[in-house]
Amino acid sequence: MRSPDEKKKEAIFEATIKLVNEIGFAAASVAKIAKQANVSPATIYTYYKNKEDLLVSSYIEIKKRKASASMDGFDESSPLKESLRKVWDNSFEFIAKNKDYFQYVEQFTNSPYHDLVDDSQSTAIFQPFVLALEAGAKQKIIREVDFDILTAFALHPITILSNVRASKDVKMTRKNIAVAFEMAWDAISQNEN
């Protein structure tokens, strides 16, 4: 069971995400976040060094949760395609359940705040997946290209298709996910002969 303090910290965390999503970084003042979390502005400063720390910490926290969720049940011994599919399904499930987290990350990632963050902690969780991709490349299952190019097709479509702002109309039904995944796989797989 959580201590009363942890509850307060969680309340501040949730209030931050809610407010930033609703009114943006600029308008989400410490005072407003405090009110939303039902604490005094001063209280926030007992948990976070300053506003920047609050925003960055919240981002990192989400990234961690998302990374573990995405890698849940990942099995290195499975075929690469199945592994990748697992990550896709996990990701869509996590995003569907945590739209607010996802939206916060999107906004944060494209802001100057992002430069302050060291992503290594959360990317570490993906390590097994990275290794699997590299192995696949060596085995000529998938293309041997820069890692960033690979993920542009293998992973980024997930976030693009989940982004309410970018893709207003598509509902990511099970069928749509399946099709999109096949497209991703076609993109990265070394199938031409």
Q: Which residues would be at the binding site for DNA (CB under 7 A)? A: 1-5, 8, 27-32, 39-43, 45-47, 50-52
Q: Which does 46 bind (CB under 5 to 8 A by kind): DNA, a second copy, none?
A: DNA
Long-range CB pairs of 171-177, under 8 A, 24+ apart, other chains included: 172/92, 172/96, 177/88, 177/89, 177/92
107 touches a second copy by CB under 8 A: yes
**DSSP 8-state assignment for residue 143:** -
As measured in angstroms, the least distance from the Cβ of 13 to DNA is 13
Residue 182: C-alpha distances to residues 82, 132, 159, 187, 188 (Å)? 11, 18, 16, 9, 10
Long-range CB pairs of 133-140, under 8 A, 24+ apart, other chains included: 133/80, 135/80, 136/80, 140/190
Q: Which does 146 bind (CB under 5 to 8 A by kind): a second copy, DNA, none?
A: a second copy
As measured in angstroms, the least distance from the Cβ of 144 to DNA is 46
152 touches a second copy by CB under 8 A: yes
Nearer to a second copy, 10 or 124 (CB): 124
Rounded CA separation 183/159 (Å): 15
Number of residues in the chain: 193
Residues numbered 18-57 forming contacts with a second copy, rule: CB under 8 A: 21-27
Residues numbered 157-186 forming contacts with a second copy, rule: CB under 8 A: 157, 160-161, 165-167, 169-170, 176, 179-180, 183-184, 186
Rounded CA separation 50/53 (Å): 5
Query: Which residues of this protein are in contact with a second copy, per CB under 8 A?
Result: 21-27, 106-107, 109-115, 143, 145-146, 148-149, 152-153, 156-157, 160-161, 165-167, 169-170, 176, 179-180, 183-184, 186-189, 191-192
